[in-house]
């Protein structure tokens, strides 16, 4: 790893630390030329998750977008931000396991609804209604474009 100060090519690792979830390793390094210290981070490279919509279009999965919709559904409910993060993390893990890189958009919503249903009825109903409405709209738009093509 090249030194950010003097650009020397070689450094030694003086400390390695894993993040609590084990996804990131931070390494403290010391330049073998100027002896200045710097930190590098190491991640597992994951291919981006793609969401496949009803009409077959694909867009990159957006973690923040899912979190936002959860936050809206759980507004003023006794659910902590930590719990919401957990739901998102669990959802992603299950989806990656089941579909690898390409996830049907429907599956994300169904999964999240499953978690919310066990957690909080109000949040569940809110999320489900927004989500189903959106699915319907998407299907509807689909039909429209289909009709136009004919
Ligand atoms: Zn250096």
Q: Are residues 56 and 26 in the same domain?
A: no
Tell me, yes or no, whether 3 lies in a domain.
no
Q: Are residues 137 and 103 in the same domain?
A: yes
Say what the pTM is: 0.62
Kindly give, in sequence order, each residue whose CB lies less than 8 Å from that of residue 51, ignoring residues fewer than 6 positions away.
Answer: 58, 59, 60, 61, 102, 103, 104, 105, 108
In the reported structure, the alpha carbon of residue 42 is separated from the centroid of ligand 1 by a whole-number distance in angstroms of 20
Yes or no: say if 115 and 87 are a contact pair by the CB < 8 Å rule.
Answer: yes
Ion ligand 1 — residues with CB under 5 Å? 3, 5-6, 8, 31, 33-34
Q: Tell me the residue length of the chain.
A: 150
Q: Are residues 86 and 27 in the same domain?
A: no
Tell me, yes or no, whether 4 lies in a domain.
no
Domain around 29:
11-43
Q: Give the number of domains in the chain.
A: 2
Tell me, yes or no, whether 1 lies in a domain.
no
Model pLDDT, residue 80: 92
Structure tokens at 32: 């073998």
* pLDDT, tens only, 61-118: 998 999 999 999 999 999 998 999 999 999 998 998 898 889 998 899 999 999 999 9
């Amino acid at each position: 790893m090249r030194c950010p100060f003097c650009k020397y090519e070689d450094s030694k690792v003086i400390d390695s630390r894993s993040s609590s979830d084990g996804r990131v390793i931070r390494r403290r390094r010391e330049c073998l030329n100027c002896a200045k210290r710097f930190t590098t981070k190491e991640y597992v490279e994951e291919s981006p998750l793609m969401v496949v919509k009803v009409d077959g279009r694909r867009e990159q999965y957006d973690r923040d977008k899912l979190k936002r919709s959860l936050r809206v559904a759980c507004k003023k409910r006794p659910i902590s931000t930590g719990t919401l993060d957990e739901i998102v993390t669990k959802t992603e893990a299950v989806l990656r396991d089941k579909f690898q890189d390409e996830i049907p958009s429907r599956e994300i919503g169904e999964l999240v609804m499953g978690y919310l249903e066990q957690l909080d009825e109000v949040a569940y109903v809110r999320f489900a209604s927004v989500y189903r409405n959106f699915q319907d709209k998407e299907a509807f738009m689909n039909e429209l474009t289909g009709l136009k093509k004919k």
